[in-house]
Amino acid sequence: MRSLAVYLVALAFGSAVRAAPKDCAHKVKESVVPPRGWTKAASAPANHTIELRIGLPQPNFAELEHHLYEVSDPFHERYGAHLSKEEVESLIAPHPQSIQLVDEWLVSYGLVQEDLSRSPAQDWVKVKVPVSLAEKMLDTEYHVWTHEASGESLVRTTSYSLPEHLHEHIDLVQPTTLFSTFKRMRSTARFSRTTPAAPSPSAPPIKVPTASGGEVDASCNETITITCLKQLYNAVGFTPSSKNGNKIAATGYLGQFANFADFELFNEDQVPEAVNATFDVISINGGENDQDPDEAGDEADLDVQFAFGLTFPTPATFFTTGGSPPFIPDVLTPTDSNEPYTEWLDFILDDPNPPQTISTSYADDEQTVPVSFAQRVCNGFAQLGARGVSLTFSSGDGGVGDGDSDPATQECFSNDGRNVTRFIPLFPPSCPFVTAVGGTTHIPETAVFFSGGGFSNVFPRPAYQDIAVPEFLARLAPGKFEGLFNPNGRAIPDVSAQADLFKVFIGGEAFLIGGTSAASPTFAGIVSLLNGARISKGLSPLGFLNPLIYALGAIEPSAFNDITVGNNPGCGTEGFNATKGWDAITGFGTPNFGKLKEIVTTGFLTLDLDSTGISVSL
């Protein structure tokens, strides 16, 4: 029977070959202005291989989004009733006609089913082809482009076309117009090989009313440790279960390796009960995790040590994803891979039981990411949220700029050909379906100057921000930063956490590291503790966090420690100021685990309407 089924599929596919519309007129599908900082170097080698990723429309995505918001709304009766993998895939599956017509187009260029790979929902098709064939298929010319600042190169085009009848059946094709450099978020300005001496043991603790026991060790103003974070965020004394099914993960890219020996040194220093503990490593797209001490990654070590140190003994996973877009003409790189983040997204969407909390500290300037690509990747995050996964992303280390130069002198030119000054938000943090985490420093906490914040130029403001963000904008001086940002865009960050002076072990040595790359795994660790508490009580994980965060920010602000001091300079400006309530540098502030645990594990939120207005009970 299987042989007959295979034969019938092959026969149907062969019929498509005969009907293939190879010679249909092409029409431009997407074009971009040559991006700033990239120079066209030469024509791409005809035999260079690229892996085309073809995105088919998701006609029912609006229905998926509707489900996502219902199961993520703490006031909705469906709160926490997350969808299954199969339910999500059925909602984002393309129309059969789209699949058929795209198959016909591919076959018309000599490609057969064995050449193709598809996502489980069939909304993505991938195929490896030489540049010469890609140019025919897309009626375009690929070139090698060189990034002036880094010297890296990409094989890309600034415009591509598709047969006109396919425009409604294909959302995008990449790699074409995606000039991403995909950087990690560690702030190099805050990297130090020398660990400052801790204050004298006689130094009095710092009084912090919301902290565990109302105080934090004085040493925490010099060096941030797991103990500091648990004290500051009111999490002392809580130990999660290792057997209730709760899991946490951190992602790694760009050759960032998480070193087991460093993890052991970290635990010996800061989490003695976790000595001899370990974490799983899952390789995606050929990702490696070299254990040579000289190859230990500062970003990877930071992420796993603090995310997994905070949540021990919760089972933990480090995802190491291979692939990097840069093409190196001098060594004749055989294959130009896709943006590695999409390789991870493919994998995790196909996982029937993904970790409930995942932290990522990598991003890129939003303006370097084509809108069509950003929207499709963001839709992938929505799918994970609907399945009960909480995603945290570092908001960036450049204030309102891109972090590539001194915040006071950043020029921050737009990438649309006008070359006007604009603030530069980052993607994926600007996606409305993830939680963007800004940074704080010192105790009492203030906003750290490099904390990324601002407003998306791609994604409109989501409904969950419709109260908090307009209130913040109303407090800005009239005309301040006019024309520099999009006041109607999705605002970031959502929350924040400590982001400086973190003591980590890298290559067997202690270092201090800063950056919102420290804030994201810290906040993710707190979320994972909350998930563990809920799961142990038979409740669902929190999933997509933002509707809950903004509800609590409005009606139960004590769930967060409001940060009202500091600003995030960039683009030659002083940036946004931290203020009471939500702001574009620290969001609603840093977490109060004890308060959040009380809220999310006991009765949750209810609204009561009476003649005096709305009252909230917990």
Active site residues: 299, 303, 517
Measured between alpha carbons, how far is residue 522 from residues 32, 527, 573, 602 in Å? 37, 9, 29, 24
Residue 476 DSSP symbol: S
Rounded to the nearest 5°, which phi and psi values hold at 364?
Answer: -150, 165
3-state secondary structure 234-269: CCCCCCCCCCCCCCEEEEECCCCECCHHHHHHHHHH
Q: What tokens appear for 471 in the block?
A: 């209130």
Q: Which residues of 560-585 are buried (b: 16+ CB within 10 A; e: fewer)?
A: bbbbbebbbbbbbbbbbbbbebbbbb
562 is known to lie in a ligand binding site = yes
**What is the spatial distance between Cα 559 and Cα 564, in angstroms, rounded to a whole number?**
16
- Distance of alpha carbon 546 from alpha carbon 266, whole angstroms: 32
The annotation status of 589 as a binding-site residue, yes or no, is no
Angle value at C-alpha 325, between 323 and 328, nearest 5 degrees: 105
CA distances from 585 to 161, 353, 396, 414, 491 (A): 40, 34, 10, 21, 10
**With contact defined as beta carbons under 8 Å apart, do 43 and 143 qualify?**
yes
Count of H-run helices and E-run strands, the chain: 14, 31
How many CB atoms are closer than 10 A to CB 68?
Answer: 26
Q: Are 186 and 385 in contact (CB under 8 A)?
A: no
Is 608 marked as binding a ligand? no
* Separation CA 271–CA 280 (nearest Å): 18
Q: How many CA atoms lie within 13 A of 39 on its CB side?
A: 8
Q: State the Cα–Cα distance between residues 454 and 486, nearest whole angstrom.
A: 9
Q: How far apart are CA 275 and CA 229, in angstroms?
A: 19
Does residue 563 have a known ligand-binding role?
A: yes
Point out which residues pair with 117 in neighbouring strands. 126
| CB-CB contact of 175 with 53 (8 Å) | yes
Query: What's the chain's length in residues?
Result: 618
Identity of the amino acid at 175: P
Annotated binding-site residues read 562-563, 581, 583
Annotated binding-site residues for Ca(2+) read 562-563, 581, 583
